[in-house]
Structure 1
Amino acid sequence: MTTTTGFLQRPWVRGAGLALGVLAAIILPLVFDAGTNSTLARIGVFAVAVLGLNVIMGYTGQVMLGQIFFVGLGAYITAYGVSQEWNIILVFILALALTALVGLVIALAAARLGGLAIAMVTIALPIVGVPLARRLGEFTGGSQGLSARFSGAPEWAPLYDDQWQLYLVLLIGGITFLLTRNLVRGKYGRAFAIVKENEAVAASMGISPYRYKVLAFTIAALIGGVSGFLYMVVIQYTSPETLSFGHSIELVISMVVGGAGSIVGSILGGAYYVLVPQLTNIIDPNLTAMLQGAILLLVLFLLPGGLVSLPRVIGRLVRRGDRGGGPGARSQAATPQPVAASHPSTEREQDT
């Protein structure tokens, strides 16, 4: 197992894997049908949303129950900018900058809190966001929402709309994941981990828990803005329902199921968010909530670290089996072996 791990860590192996991943991202959208491309694009959208949630909950250990608010805010900014015929690059920058700014303002007040207090603050975001979106009809379209069709394939690209949209999600989402990976594996990630482990220890080491909690919250909001922009790329419509608290809880569940504090777990969480409701609806639409709850409990009992921990759990079981030599060997080892009895005459001869 150690040899295999060392082999996978070699630079050329990792480079080859990255090259294969990029090649697959280029080829597969051309091979899949429109429905599959659309599903993969939606997985990418919510994988980015789960990634932002993971930064603050998985890596920094802070409670965040309102990530969908920032996703919806990014979607509304994008939809409004497109409806005003602003340059799409400017719209993208505004979607990121304004959501990060709102996240910073909220974080400056909320980061000093802890436990249930910060949970209540983040819960309030989607609860307040829904009626606010309905009242600001001039900007949000009110209860009717806003639609924005700007992500059709350009004339110079020989692609269908679904292929172009998936490429956009892969490009923007891939860059977001890469930057976040570098962040959490660098000095900021180490500081996040220390703050998560023990704030008193972090303070004694010269790491300000307040500053890093504000930073994590702001980054999570910014990534939520990226997800909101991609949401409009793929869904092309947003309404107050986008901000609903139920969606926020589903994002938290997706993060836990995929794996908290894991980049790959964020991708698995996005897949869970999109695919599991489809699966439960196919089984029985009336039992969707119950089936999703059963799946969540099953994952939590069998894989407390989320789906991302599955290879590690399998490897541990395999090593345990190898050490035991298999069921037969364990059974044989557990069975006491008979000890040959010494014949009395033999003992007397040895004494003599």
Structure 2
Amino acid sequence: MPGPGASGFLRRPWVRGALIALVIVLLIVAPLVLPQFANQTLIRIGVYAVAVLGLNIVMGYGGQVNLGQIFFLGLGAYVTAYGVMNDWNIVLTFAAACLIPAAVGLAVALAAARLGGLAIAMVTIALPIVGVPLAKRLSDLTGGSQGVSARFSDAPEWTGLYDDQWQFYIVLLIAGVSFLLARNFVRGKFGRALAIVKANESVASSMGISPYRYKVLTFTVASLFGGVSGFLYMVAVQYTSPETLSFGHSISLLAAMVIGGAGSMIGSLIGGAYYVFVPQATAAIDPNLTTIIQGVILLVVLFVLPGGLVSLPRRIRSLARRRGPRGAGPNTPQTASEASPGQGSTPEGPEHTERQGQA
């Protein structure tokens, strides 16, 4: 059958390596040939794909509830802006944008992880709700309600690139490393232990795995990726305000993760694309119905594809296998059994067998 053969062919290491190399080449060449608008769109997808990736680690792989991931993105953006305005080295700025959100996430997890999933949910809901007025009050650091600008990602003259091309390569490099590290994280020893904790905490404890420790570490890692996405957000937008931390954006990130596919790296990429494209499309249809349309899309995807859009190919293959026997030809096992003498499928069957015996 061509289906399994093609699937087996794609699983060969050299084929997968060639496909990955082709994708990398296309991504490197893309910003040089695409128009500025397309480059900026792809940059935003990369930014929010990293944000959804962090949320996917804590919820999709860890099974915890996090309704405040956008807070860590906004915090990373503010730290980046502060570092740029104070002439910090860009490497130091990036490190601070990653580590400060991770430290805040660690403090939150240490306080809430022992209290169960509902406590973490309530605490994470509070993060963006408290973060917005806090950002407005700390005007000396955040610029208040007006926000703050930080231009630091313009293309150097020696590169010969436009700003959007340079920003594309920065986002591509950091997002690519982030996904690679996250993949190794969830597929390694830590990831296997985390899967046991997600499935059954009692079993994990009996095996010597501390659910509390793994919950805290997972939430901290997710917060770190939130800080990375905040740095990339400033690379792309070069401006942030208290609106960046709003609770509505956090819910949109959660919907993007669910629609893309929980517990999936590719699902995080799809979620990033959803976060960028769908609000624009729904706003073009009717700005007053944007939230309703997005809610309908979420319900439809949850009903038809509970595993998210990343499960669509698997769903199609499953439906194809179910419909296969109905359209089977005369050489299929089902038809052959129907034509066997024991089944008596045709009136001539037994008589024809008797004639063969006499001969």
TM-score tier, shorter chain, comes to: over 0.9
1:284 maps to which of 283, 286, 292: 286
Q: Alpha-carbon deviations, 1:278-316, whole Å to 9, x = none?
A: 111111222111111111111111111000000000111
CA distance in 1, matches of 2:326, 2:346: 23
1:186 maps to which of 178, 185, 188: 188
Q: Alpha-carbon deviations, 1:89-124, whole Å to 9, x = none?
A: 110011111111111111111111223221101101
* 1:124 matched residue in structure 2: 126
Q: Alpha-carbon deviations, 1:107-144, whole Å to 9, x = none?
A: 11111122322110110111111111111111111111
CA distance in 1, matches of 2:329, 2:215: 50
CA distance in 2, matches of 1:338, 1:98: 75
Amino acid at match of 2:196: I
CA distance in 1, matches of 2:315, 2:345: 37
CA distance in 2, matches of 1:338, 1:83: 85
Deviation at 1:321, TM superposition (A): 2.0
Matched residue SS, 1:261: coil
Q: Alpha-carbon deviations, 1:178-217, whole Å to 9, x = none?
A: 1100111111111111111010111111111000001100
> Number of matched residues?
341
1:105-144 correspondence runs (5 A)? 105-144=107-146
1:283-302 correspondence runs (5 A)? 283-302=285-304
* 2:93 matched residue in structure 1: 91
1:157-306 correspondence runs (5 A)? 157-306=159-308
CA distance in 2, matches of 1:178, 1:24: 18
Q: Which moved more, 1:257-266 or 1:92-101?
A: 92-101
Deviation at 1:254, TM superposition (A): 0.4
CA distance in 2, matches of 1:306, 1:257: 5
- Contact 2:101/2:227, CA 8 A, preserved across alignment: yes
Deviation at 1:27, TM superposition (A): 0.5
* 2:311 matched residue in structure 1: 309
* CA distance 1:183–1:340, shift in 2 (3 Å): same
* CA distance 1:85–1:324, shift in 2 (3 Å): same
CA distance in 1, matches of 2:152, 2:239: 11
CA distance in 2, matches of 1:301, 1:315: 18
TM-score by structure 1 length? 0.92
1:68 maps to which of 64, 67, 70: 70
CA distance in 2, matches of 1:337, 1:21: 57
* CA distance 1:326–1:137, shift in 2 (3 Å): farther
1:29-40 correspondence runs (5 A)? 29-40=31-42
* 2:352 matched residue in structure 1: none
* 1:54 matched residue in structure 2: 56
Unmatched runs of 5 consecutive residues or more in structure 1:
342-352
Deviation at 1:2, TM superposition (A): 3.6
Amino acid at match of 2:172: L
Q: Alpha-carbon deviations, 1:240-283, whole Å to 9, x = none?
A: 10000000011010000000000000000000001001111111
TM-score by structure 2 length? 0.90
* 1:350 matched residue in structure 2: none
- Contact 2:267/2:310, CA 8 A, preserved across alignment: yes
Amino acid at match of 1:206: G
Matched residue SS, 1:304: coil
Amino acid at match of 1:21: V
Matched residue SS, 1:64: coil
Matched residue SS, 1:111: helix
CA distance in 2, matches of 1:7, 1:247: 41
